[in-house]
Amino acid sequence: MKYTLFFVLPLVLLMPLAQSVSAETNFMDKFNKAFQTLTSGDKQAIGNMTELVDNKTNTGNHTLYSLSSKINKAFQTLTSGDKQAIGNMTELVDNNINQIKNFIAELKFKSGLDTYVNFEPQGYGIYQAKESSVFMPGEKMILYIEPKGYEYGTLFDKSGNKLHTMDFAIDFTISDESGNILTNQQGITFDKIVSHHKNKELFIPFTITQSSPFPEGNYIITYVIHDKKSGASFDIVKNITIAR
């Protein structure tokens, strides 16, 4: 994808703060398993778990005691018949599961390879890597990116055949050496990829064109690659130099 940048100095634009996703995965994993057991109807399993809760004072393990207390409260809620309380608890579990899924998506989605190239890449792995990050004033900056860990969308063609989609967007910011933002753009989209297969080998070409040559000096370009399906993203930070 080519992107023409009209570069004006000094242009300072604020970037939104990246939102972080955190999850207490260890506790939620145990809690979700306990919740599934309580709602499964398996009397033997429920009996074993309630016996564990009743005997919690006999163990010196602080972690087990804390978990048992939470399970006991959950059990009391589920057996109380209080629909409002049960609804609140299941909503809490669902929200935490979604947080965990988002957290995992963020961990999976990453750059397998990113490098500046001399010419537009001709396909996956078909490129000529640039030997340095020094560019002439007015020279195109072509970044070749191989994303990994993206998720697939689904759609059907007119014949009812299942197809898979891959969809990305990019933000970029150009800063000076001190971190002062000179210019940025957000939400630059690509044509959605539609395939009969869950393609694993994809590349994203992204070009910044100096419509007005940059002043000579050192710059920092931060690219943010978004997987539109999962909502995950990753950063690529490049230090470049404009010099004759």
More confident residue, 134 or 22: 134
**What element of type H or E holds 235?**
strand 233-242
Choose among 187, 185, 233: nearest CA to 209.
185
Q: Give the Å distances, CA to CA, from 154 to 162, 163, 166, 193.
A: 7, 6, 9, 11
Instruction: Give domain limits for the chain.
Output: 25-107, 110-242
The mean per-residue pLDDT over the stretch 85-107 comes to 68
More confident residue, 17 or 127: 127
**What residue type is 205 in one-letter code?**
P
User: What pLDDT band is residue 14 in, cutting at 50, 70 and 90?
Assistant: very low
Per residue in 140-149, pLDDT (tens digit) is 999 999 999 9
Are residues 7 and 214 in contact, defined by beta-carbon separation less than 8 angstroms?
A: yes
Rounded to 5°, angle at Cα 229 from 228 and 234 = 55
pLDDT beyond 60 at 16: no
- Sort 109 into a burial class: Cβ within 10 Å, 0-12 / 13-18 / 19+: buried
Residues 6+ apart with CB under 8 A from 8: 183, 212
- Which token pair is 181? 């933002």
Q: Which residue blocks in the chain are alpha helix, DSSP H?
A: 25-38, 43-54, 62-80, 83-108
Phi, psi (rounded to 5 degrees) for 172: -145, 150
The confidence score (pLDDT) of residue 80 equals: 73
Choose among 51, 224, 73: nearest CA to 143.
224
The answer regarding whether domain 110-242 maps to CATH 3.30.500.10 reads no
The mean per-residue pLDDT over the stretch 81-90 comes to 71
User: What pLDDT band is residue 78 in, cutting at 50, 70 and 90?
Assistant: low
Q: Where are the beta strands (DSSP E) in 86-216?
A: 110-117, 134-135, 141-148, 153-156, 162-166, 168-176, 181-189, 193-195, 204-210
More confident residue, 48 or 118: 118
